[in-house]
Structures are given as C-alpha cells and as structure tokens.
Homo-oligomer: A and B are copies of this chain.
C-alpha cells in the first residue's frame, strides 16, 4: 500500500510508493556530457571571470592571477545584479520589479577534476567559512532579504560548468519556499513552544531508523517525508537559527559530516548528480527560537514530471528507512 507522509515543517505531502521501487544500484546516473577543453574556473583563466571578491591565495600572489586555493567571483551571467533600484511597478494587471540582488560563484578548488567530496576536510572547512563570511558581508546591503547558498553538482542537477563550484544568490524579497518553511516552523513553535527541528533531531536520534550518521555536533538523516530517493539532511544538534552565526569550530564539524555524507552518497549511487541547499533564516532577522538552519542534499536520480508540477506532491519510490539502512552499510575508508 502506498503511504502518504507529510513534511512536518512545510506541510508538503509525499507519496512513498515502494512498489514501483528501485534498488540503489538501479539508479544509474546518465553519463555526464563531455564538455570541450576550456574552463574559465581553472588557474590561468582568472581574467575570464569578473574580478574576484575574495580569494584564499599564496602570500605574494596578486588578485586575479594563479596561486589561489579558493576563489569567489560574481557570476558572469548573473540572475540578479547589485546595481540599481528595485523600482516595484505595475504593468497592466501585472507586477514587476528590477532584478536587484547578488549572484556569486564560489570556485571550491583550483583542480578541475576534483569534486567537493574529494577535497580535504580543511578545504571543505574553508568553503563553509566563506559561505558564512559572504552572507555576513551581504547582510550590510539592507535591500537584500535572503541569501541562498547552493550547489549544483553534475549536468543533470543543473551545473553548466564541470569545475567544482557552489553559488549564492541574494534576493530582494523573501522567497516563497523560505516564507512557507519559516511559517511552518513558527506555527509549530506557537503550538508547542519548541523548535520543530530540535524535535526532529531528538526523534531521529531516538528512533535510529532514519539516522545515517551522528557526531558530536551534527546528525545526518533521511527525512521522514523525502521528496527524492536518498534525500539527506544534515542538522546541527544544538539550536541555531542562522548559518552565518556558526563558529569556525562548528563549521569544522560540518565539514567532517558533509564530506562523509557526500562520500557515502557517491559510493552508494555511483557519483550521482545532486543539489545541496543551505536552509537558514532571513539574514536581517535576529536570532529566532523557532527556526533551525540545516543543509538539504538532493541526489538527482529521478525526473520531476507533470504530477509533481501540478500538485506539489512528490512520488518517491524509496522509503527513507530503506535509504538510511543502505547508507549506514556503506563503509568509507
């Protein structure tokens, strides 16, 4: 019998329909299309991106030259631009405003062929600290309401360049899904006077059936109502509403957890394309009791079709309990 499960935060229903189920090795990713040689993110091609906003580089090397291990640059084809006014206006019966915001690219490594999961923990730690520092910097622009940090790994997950990178987009309005998630968490808090994510952390540690990994500061779980097979969330055990308030030490633990989880997913699913997204509170808000930042990782193993688009329901052929059991057996050297 298929089962309908409700995401406790956002209220999204998911159909867990294991009869159409696949085993992990049935999710064979489409081969990555081979792109031709030139890569604007490789050392030596620094002039092919807009000038860098930040870099970690060897002492004595000049900006926008080789010698870096991590580089942040504006997106060359930005979805939103820093310049200009919002200029909200009507157009006939419709509403429109200018695309003010920011769109930056974090080039995670100088090595063209290394994936995020292949990097040293110290380098992943650097990347996570840069996310934090860029959010903190962009918060100074009061036109900006939210920063989404995300990564598209692999062509099927939307990456247009192979060289490992993540992105951030700062938006001048609170995105719809962020509002929904914040409201869902707030409703729970009003009713229970507890953070729903803190309750999820406790429940999953107690239940164990969806727990993939636990360390001192983080857990990784398959969520109760996952949209996608092997959707995996990483949550800090202690309550914190804003990613950008994280200490270096906390982010070191996140680096350890993220690397391990990505390695498990890559081994279990043969290097799947994936998206990861940092879910955090609106940056102009102070600390919040009801929201708890976390990371959502979504392997791209299936194709979203008409039903999902038309309803917002997702059909998932792999239960999170099965996925967690499988991921736990994956040994990482």
Contact = CB atoms under 8 A, between A and B. Distances in A.
Contact of A305 (B4, B146, B157): B157
A2 B99 contact: yes
Interface string A40-56: 00000000000000000
A224 B1 CA distance: 41
Interface string A155-196: 111110000000101011101111010000000000000001
A53 to B, nearest CB: 19
Interface in A7-58: 8, 11-13, 15-17, 19-20
A332 interface: no
A148 B310 contact: yes
Nearest to A20: B77
A200 B152 contact: no
A95 interface: yes
Contact of A96 (B6, B11, B203, B304): B6
Indicate the size class of the contact surface on chain A: 35 or more
Q: How many copies altogether?
A: 2
Contact of A150 (B5, B19, B310): B310
A80 B15 contact: yes
A312 interface: yes
Nearest to A275: B306
Interface of A: 1-6, 8, 11-13, 15-17, 19-20, 77-81, 84, 91-99, 146, 148, 150-152, 155-159, 167, 169, 171-173, 175-178, 180, 196, 199-200, 203, 207, 224-225, 275-277, 279, 298, 303-307, 309-313, 315
